[in-house]
Amino acid sequence: MEADFVIVGAGSAGCAMAYRLSESGASVIVIEFGGTDAGPFIQMPAALSYPMNMSRYDWGYQSEPEPHLNNRRLACPRGKVIGGSSSINGMVYVRGHAMDFDHWSEAGADGWSFADVLPYFKRMESWHDGGHGGDPAWRGTDGPLHVTRGPRDNPLHAAFVTAGEQAGYQLTDDYNGRKQEGFGPMEQTVWNGRRWSAANAYLRPALRRDNCTLVRALACKVVIEDGRARGVEVDRGGQKELIRARRDVVLAASAINSPKLLMLSGIGPADHLAEHGITPIVDRPGVGGNLQDHLEMYIQMAASQPITLFKHWNLVSKAMIGAQWLFSKTGLGASNQFESAAFIRSRAGVPYPDIQYHFLPMAVRYDGKAAAEGHGFQAHVGPMRSTSRGAVTLRSDDPADAPVIRFNYMSTDQDWGEFRTCIRLTREIFAQPAFSEFVRHEIQPGEHLKSDEELDAAIAEHAESAYHPCGTCRMGRADDPNAVVDPTGQVIGVDGLRVADSSIFPRITNGNLNAPSIMVGEKMSDHLLGQPPLAPSNDEPWQNPTWEVAQR
């Protein structure tokens, strides 16, 4: 088998590249180990807690015991299915803050400033405001990826935004537009009541073309001859095969699997490869390093009125919601229920938001376990720019083995201080008049926990990953010893080999990572095709005029 481009991974970036590369007339083979995304568990937005807990759709990775979090092993779900993690994620759509991308550019990712990436965010979107305002000039209208807003019918969604305003924070009509900072509606990748994954948006249309093919197989390594990537060795049904690339091999296998594949192919820290009997071809010490993630905690409140989604937390109600969704793609099943959001700054002197809120009108965990208290609601909160760094390393030279994942969460004093601030600011929001008729008491962490030591203990016990791993094949300048790829995605030291997914992020962006991951696939497609990038934008993002002296 042979094509111009061979892409490993049918995830957020891989699907976008399959679409854009095949659109140009080039031939594309996409290698994906996971199976079909058909079925209600993936396609029904409200069922989101199911697929990320099903081994059929998820690689099932876990961190090593995290020393600063009571040696807990934290779940690290990655999509093992068509659409990758966009088929099992929470469908929350956040581009990231303008200054995130300006930081990328300053860190050596030339051509990836906000002015450079905004045109790609616009190209990928079909944005629907649902009559709720927003920033149309900043948004795309005819891209493959539909972005919508939930109905926000539950009164708690409005209470959350009003409480933010009462606490003195900004409001924002569109955190993906000019102004991220503030409280307002949350956006989701849902269209006509269905999860609008990268598979639905990009891969299905691409596969309808004769020049795009999907191959179900496990990628084992990149085959490199005379300093150039020639193809990918795969295991298909127990048989080893070589899938050849005439132009480029592109790894889009996630921040966990892309560095693993590079190392299995002889690209990475030479000493580590030698430990596992792998001959180093290119010594790149940065491969697998710089691992980052968002941690969050659910601040849960017991409700004084039975208006939360808990009333549907029974088999009869779930069956009725499911039936309505199956027949009409409407009702509660048609939203991820994350319909209000906020981005705020933790203190004066922070130039742009470093705390994100997802608000949910129910007290429930990602694994689907409801709070024992019954009716409740919660805000997911956590710092956006943790200074902790971890690594992905090899467990063995067997491609079927899961890699060793060490996030090293909460390993800096700054992280602890920021997390305590998150909890205290959230309590203040829930204490505003807008919530007075809805709040009974605090469930988690519990209002009796007040001191730094008590909050630290709660964080160590209850903090969970927001499932945003990134950074393990960092993009930078070719002379940067710790960079893995240059700003065109080219692996430094190997011709014809690129990486394009969240692993290339120099630093984690503000918010959920699906949107910037798809943007990477869109922008890298132009680099792969040798096309000039889209013209930079002149739009000026909003910055709080009092950021140097005020927290809000």
Residue type at position 478: A
Extended strands (E) in 114-227: 125-127, 145-149, 182-185, 187-188, 190-191, 194-195, 212-216, 218-225
Strand partners, 392: 405
Contact 533, 523 (CB under 8 A): yes
Residue type (1 letter), 156: L
Q: What is the DSSP letter of 292?
A: B
Type and span of the H or E element at 232: strand 228-236
Q: Please state at what angle helix 452-462 crosses helix 413-430, rounded to 10 degrees.
A: 100
Residues 6+ apart with CB under 8 A from 252: 7, 8, 9, 11, 13, 14, 17, 258, 499, 500, 501, 521
Decide if 468 is catalytic: yes
| Strands 218-225 vs 228-236: parallel, antiparallel or unpaired | antiparallel
Helix 114-124, helix 98-106: angle, nearest 10: 130
DSSP conformational letter for 47:
G
Q: Are 362 and 376 in contact (CB under 8 A)?
A: yes
CB 507 within 8 A of CB 385: yes
Set 103, 146, 468, 527: catalytic member: 468
Q: Which residues of 143-157 are buried (b: 16+ CB within 10 A; e: fewer)?
A: bbbbbbbbebebebb
Contact at 8 Å (CB) between 89 and 458? no
Alpha-carbon gap, residue 184 to 195, rounded angstroms: 22
Cross-sheet strand order for the sheet of 125-127: 125-127, 145-149, 187-188
What are the residue numbers of the active site?
468
